[in-house]
Structure 1
Amino acid sequence: MDITRLSPDDAAGCAEAVALLIATHAVDCPGALLSTPTGYSADLRYGWDLDPGRTYLAREADGSLVGLLHVNTPTYDNTNLVWIEVEVHPERRGRGIGSELVRYAEQLAGELGRTSMGLTTWDLPKAAAFANRHGFEQKTVGVNRRQDITTLDWSTVQKLYDEAVLAAAEYEVIRIVGDLPEEMLEGMIAVTASINDAPKDDLDLEDDVFTAERLRAYEAARHGHNQTMYRVIARHRTTGELAGHSVVTVERERPHIAEQNDTAVSRDHRGHRLGALLKTAMLLWLRETEPALTQLDTWNAESNNHMISINEQLGYSVVARSLEFQKSL
């Protein structure tokens, strides 16, 4: 088997990778949101915040693509970590291809001096058995929920928004499309870092480290993905402190698809229903500005009861569950 790194400039290779993902997800998780070849290339070039991962293509002797290995090697924080995803074509499973890709990833991790490896799989018995066989231990469960905008009860959204406005009377809501104004950048560092309070369960992870440069890198990556960023920010009326935010991106290639990138409230400002305020304010805004939008996806740890409660009130339904494993190298 030949394993080679995929370049974001390789349009044919990116199309092949997406075709393999379509085949694997048809079996493993039919409802999951997948990238287009253009989006896949952008992810390899820009990543989440200009810290992109790598994809490796596994081909048999005849050149047919039988497997994918995606490797993330963080550079902002958790620099001891490698995180991988392994995909094997359904018609080629049971032949040791996945195991060979894990061994390849471990060799790469050793060359990079990384000492911990994570693996994400779908919540399937065979996937869990595969992870356990390679020495991984399950650490947490992630849940993908989707909001069907076409059937959304807008009266419920408005009611939740109105109730949150009363509870959060000390705060004003700011709408921003695209990049943050320079004068808000420093204040948003602490707000963004509030995501570190979300449950990590048993994962051995350092907190994410945010800087002004990293926030700008995230924005640059969204532009590279050809996505429109919508931000709703809560600001304390008296002190001017930024208290929380919600960020949603809408694809321009597929404007019916949006993804929740973040929702976080600073610890000092919790207890005022700001999470509900931000998420409902975002929905009401998207209703005005994105008429083609039909679905909004979000991910949470299964143990994040507070955010899940808000999502369920807003009509989200479960699309998929992922298992996250980790081991020391």
Structure 2
Amino acid sequence: MSTDTTIVIDELEIPASMDEPGAADFAEMVEVRNAIETQIMGTDVLNYSARELLPVYLVQEDEPNRLFVARVDGRIVGRAILAWQTEEGASASWVSVEVLPQYRRRGIGTVLLDHLTTLALASGRPTLQAEAIHTRPATGERVDSPTGFGWVSADDPGVRFLLRHGYRLEQVARISALPLPVDPAVLAAQRATAQAAAGDDYRIVGWTGTTPPERVDDLVTLKTHMSADIPSAGLEITDERWDAARLARWDGQLAGSGRERLTVAAEHVPTGRLAGHNELYLPADRSRPVVQEDTLVLSEHRGHRLGMLLKVANLQRLAELSPSSTLVTTFNAEENRHMLDVNEAVGFTPIGYEGCWQLTP
């Protein structure tokens, strides 16, 4: 499929490994991704290596996706991703379109988005959702989130693009960063206070890498609740379905990626079951930022400061296992005030914002 004699858009084949000859195109696509997000953020803290990202695209059974690229004279200048859920009744498709700044305003983004839209509508998942990082200048017109928390700039190119194509802003997520190291005395004091609030009914357990067999059932429960419990504003969300097989495939994403996962969990001592967990992903290059992913406390165990206990405990483990790490990044919905309070108390500060958009038929 082509837009003119010099711009060609085609589907990118995902290599089985970065050691295959065809992996060069995937690596080039990742370089384009990193360049675009660095330009928007003004920092490269959200960059990943191709080896780190490849497992995300390979696990098609649970999180299927298709990847398209736009080329000019053979060079990749933009990319587009179509992703969807496999759960029965899921009606939404996720779309993502990114074009290098110097190639914008040439219709490339529109052609990519139109192609994804056609595929999504034909699939029977007609609700389109998009997540995009936006610049946020201090002045200018705002587009407010309907949740009442957060805003994006009406002057941001991505905002203008999505509004022009009929998308509605549903939610704003804050991108936060925590410089490391955190004062060990501060972490110790916060952990002692949180543990006192939790009492003897809860204790911290932890592991590195894949899930221990004795924790699989509880992790399945936590992962299932994660999609259902996080704030989703007006987005059409279908709860994810997890079982032991899916958890094993998720664990398998670590293999070959070069990343290491640190997990801490709060065990409810009377029952021996896990009440919540926190995850940190360490890159192979320990000078690069650590990524904080899931933090969840099951609803029946909330009110005991377990969120703070989990975050602080994992930061302490991180300091022990990777003292050279310099930064932790994380995303949270702006209306998730409780978790933002915990983050801010630890020392996280905002470094960027992501808009969550939706187009309904």
Could you state the TM-score of these two structures normalised by the residue count of structure 1?
0.92
* Per-residue deviation, 1:77: 6.1
Write the distance in 2 (CA, Å) between the matches of 1:40 and 1:57.
Answer: 16
Match of 1:97? Answer: 108
Counterpart in the other structure of 1:200? 232
Q: In 2, distance between residues paired with 1:92 and 1:120? A: 21
Q: Displacement, 1:105?
A: 0.3
Q: 1:22 to 1:217 in 2, by over 3 A?
A: closer
In the alignment, structure 1 segments of 5+ residues that lack a partner are none
Q: Which residue of 2 aligns with 1:51?
A: 63
Which one is further off, 90-99 or 212-221?
212-221
Contact 2:34 2:48 in 1 (8 A): no
- Counterparts of 1:78 and 1:259, CA distance in 2: 31
Task: Quote the sequence identity (%).
Answer: 29
What secondary structure is seen at the aligned counterpart in 1 of 2:255? Answer: helix
Larger RCO (CA within 8 A; separation ≥ 6) = 1
SS in 1 for 2:358: strand
Q: How does 1:262-301 map to 2 (within 5 A)?
A: 262-301=294-333
- CA distance 1:22–1:218, change in 2 (3 Å): closer
Equivalent residue for 1:40, pick from 53, 61, 81: 53
Instruction: Rate the CA distance shift 1:78–1:302 in 2: closer, same or farther, 3 A.
Output: farther
Q: How far did 1:172 drift?
A: 1.2
Counterpart of 2:39 in structure 1 is: 27
Closer, same or farther: CA 29–239 of 1 in aligned 2, 3 Å: same
What's the secondary structure of 1:168's corresponding residue?
A: helix
> Cα offset for 1:173?
1.0
SS in 1 for 2:80: strand
Residues in 2 aligned to 1:159 and 1:41: alpha-carbon distance in whole angstroms: 39
Greater shift, 190-199 or 162-171, is seen at 190-199
Report the counterpart of residue 225 of structure 1 in structure 2: 257
3-state secondary structure, aligned to 2:225? helix
CA change 1:190–1:29 in 2 (3 A) is: same
Q: CA deviation at 1:292?
A: 2.2
Aligned-pair Cα RMSD in Å: 2.0
CA contact (8 A) 1:56 1:68 kept: yes
Q: Which is further off, 219-228 or 103-112? A: 219-228
Per-residue deviation, 1:324: 1.1
- Map 1:1-329; keep pairs closer than 5 Å: 1-9=7-15, 10-31=22-43, 32-46=45-59, 51-60=63-72, 62-76=73-87, 79-124=90-135, 125-150=156-181, 152-169=182-199, 170-195=201-226, 196-254=228-286, 256-329=288-361
8 Å CA contact 2:53, 2:257 repeated in 1: no
Aligned residue type for 1:84: V
Equivalences, count: 326
User: What's the CA shift for 1:276?
Assistant: 0.6
For 1:75, the aligned partner's letter is T
Further displaced range: 314-323 or 25-34: 25-34
Which amino acid in 1 is paired with 2:30? V
Q: Which has the higher helix share?
A: 1
Q: How far 1:308 sits from its partner (Å)? A: 0.6
In the alignment, structure 2 segments of 5+ residues that lack a partner are 1-6, 16-21, 136-155
Q: CA deviation at 1:322?
A: 0.7
Q: State the distance in 2 between where 1:319 and 1:222 align.
A: 27
- Could you tell me the TM-score, scaled by structure 2's length? 0.84
CA distance in 2, matches of 1:256, 1:290: 11
Assess if the C-alpha contact under 8 Å between 2:90 and 2:125 holds in 1: yes
> Residue 155 of structure 1 aligns to a residue in which SS?
helix
Residue deviations 1:142-169, cap 9 Å, x none?
111111113x232221111010111112
Q: CA deviation at 1:301?
A: 0.7
- Please give the alpha-carbon distance, in whole angstroms, between the structure 2 residues aligned to 1:19 and 1:171: 44
Contact 1:233/1:278 (8 A) holds in 2 = yes
